[in-house]
Chains A and B, each alone.
Chain A
């Protein structure tokens, strides 16, 4: 243990294959761990579900962005053409809505895309320059060919020795404590 203020963030296990990780994640949920996260070099089907993460707000946020963008687009054109500066050209309607569709469409897509991307980043709390998992030296392999499971210390069932034993039993190649330095 180092002298300066550092505390345990959690315990991390390294696996060789996605199947092993998936099995360990399922088992961890099964025996009652709640604050579990997994780190993988590519998205693995069913993994988010296995660590108890089911619902994401990204589609809803995207819908809001799209509807907002579309309303802004149409409203902008209507207001400019019919209210702010109406020009009567041969008695043609000021609210010539078919001509407003292309810009309305483009702004719908723009709004939805911006909300989707920035909504996703915000929900993921990115950018985030520091995170305790980066303190683990071997963690760099999470972006190559290793699969990690983390049990966080804030989990009510967390116990350093007990959780480590559990992970070792799940055929982890390597188990380590994750320190959080303040």
Chain B
């Protein structure tokens, strides 16, 4: 991350833009963020967006119900392509879910103050993305009601899960990630829930936020233990977030399929996950700050920093693509060489070129400061990058599986309407959950913003 924090000496401070527009007090940040939840009436824009997302969720229900009725045959998958959209979408969603914990944990440990106004909704985004991701392997089994087979429980059959399989590692990695992200998010929320409880006027709000706040009373002793636990959680979540996409990449890399069996997969998957996660943070942050007038808190400097993180992780991803090609030819393995050529000239080459365009070429615009400062350009670029990351997973899953070793076992893949309906449905689910979150919980961490106000007041004093 290429950001310099303002150190105590005055000159450096003046060069950087503030993380919070000047003139804010403890009360004004609290009022502004809490008002979004407590007092602001539902706008027509919210209702419209929510309704659209809700329709998509209904489509998801239909698609899943039909899937359970008929089986996975309604999808485009067939041997040799047993994975298809379900796994593409799973990896895509779980990748998006990486930015939240990265922002909350790693940037916290690195003492990056700009995480403060974006960590809360990024963590929420993580949870919703993990929920969407988890759905896919579950329904991909075809018999989701048997999913408990994957957990080690003492069954009458006397058998256990295969702990040497990356697919079981995945079960543990994703469920641990989901749980720890939820804990991290909730711990961060407790003081803010207490703030909402203290400000709530309507009785139902007082009851709901009061119960969720668990009687938090801002005691200095509580804060002390709280900060200790929060720091430890950040330390624990940091290796965890790196491990999750590593384990997901093992699903591929441990197999011997050409194009999958490479050691570059874990780091390049993690970089890709952060890349797409930050793209999604921008996709959400830009409309959010506009709709609720939060430009004072989510400033251009935040967007600029996110853009820089995208640029640097995007370059790591580009390096990953390069190494894949290089190793294929360098190894001299004829299946690997063949697969590399398939990506360029095979039946799915247009996906590969679209991927290069979306993930490598277009994001180079982020080198230009004017682009990083243009909200609309950033929004469009974030959509392009997320499309690119989806294409990347499509290329990895489909090209390798359609043409592996024996030409007699080759096949083709095309998605059916149910595949698209499920993808659209999870997009709707994600959006709907986010719409509910924005109105039900503070989208920006209020107590941390108050801390930022105090920090800025101190920085101001040091300067004068």
Are B220 and A38 neighbours in the complex by a CB distance under 8 Å? yes
Q: Is the interface of B mostly helix, strand, loop or mixed?
A: helix
Q: Do residues A113 and B220 form an inter-chain contact, with CB atoms below 8 A?
A: no
Residues of B contacting A168 with CB < 8 Å? none
Tell yes or no: A110 within 8 A of B by CB: yes
Q: Scan A134-169; emit 1 where CB is below 8 A from any B CB, else 0.
A: 100001111111000000000000000000000000
Whether A113 contacts B198 in the complex (CB less than 8 A), given A77-B163, A121-B214, comes out as no
CA distance A138 to B163 in the complex (A): 57
A53 at the interface (CB under 8 A from B): yes
B30's nearest neighbour on chain A, judged by CB, is A144
B54 CB–A CB distance under 8 Å? no
* CB nearest to B157 among chain A residues: A85
Q: Is B218 on the interface with A (CB-CB < 8 A)? A: yes
Does B49 sit at the interface, judged by CB under 8 A?
no
B221:A144 contact, CB within 8 angstroms? no
Establish whether residues B447 and A41, one from each chain, have CB atoms under 8 Å apart when the complex forms. Answer: yes
A58 on the B face (CB < 8 A): yes
Of A39, A107, A114, the residue contacting B219 (CB under 8 A) is A39
Residues of B within 8 A of A127 (CB): 214-215
Interface size on B, residues (CB 8 A): 60
Cα A116 to Cα B184 with chains together (Å): 10
Across the interface, which residues of A come within 8 angstroms of B454, CB to CB? Answer: 18, 42, 44
Task: Give CA–CA (A134, B198) in the complex, Å.
Answer: 10
Task: State whether the Cβ of A176 lies closer than 8 Å to any Cβ in chain B.
Answer: no
State which of B172, B214, B219, B448 has its C-beta within 8 Å of the C-beta of A42.
Answer: B448
- With A56-B228, A58-B228, A77-B163 as contacts: A102 and B218 at CB distance below 8 Å: no
Q: Which of A37, A85, A102 contacts B221 (CB 8 A)?
A: A37
Closest to B196 in A: A143
Residues on A with C-beta less than 8 A from B11 are none
- B353 an interface residue at 8 Å Cβ cutoff? no
Alpha-carbon separation in the docked complex, A99 to B250 (Å): 12
Give the Cβ gap from A61 to chain B, nearest Cβ, in Å.
9
Q: Which residues of B contact A128 (CB under 8 A)?
A: 214-215
Q: Is the CB of B176 within 8 A of A144?
A: no
Known contacts A124-B226, A126-B214, A126-B215; decide if A81 and B220 are in contact (CB<8 Å). Answer: no
B160 and A116 contacting across the interface, CB-CB below 8 Å: no
Q: By the criterion CB–CB under 8 Å, are A143 and B198 in contact?
A: yes
Pairwise interchain contact B27-A144, C-beta atoms closer than 8 A: yes
Residue of B nearest to A128 (CB): B215
Are B173 and A106 interface neighbours, CB within 8 A? yes
Task: Please give the distance in Å from B32's CB to the nearest CB on chain A.
Answer: 12
Q: Which B residues are within 8 Å of any A CB, using their own CB?
A: 25-27, 30, 152, 158-161, 163-164, 166, 168-169, 172-173, 176, 179-180, 183-184, 186-187, 191, 194-195, 197-199, 210, 214-229, 232-233, 236-237, 239-240, 243, 247, 250, 447-448, 450-451, 454
Closest 4 CB pairs between A and B?
Answer: A127-B214, A145-B26, A120-B229, A48-B224
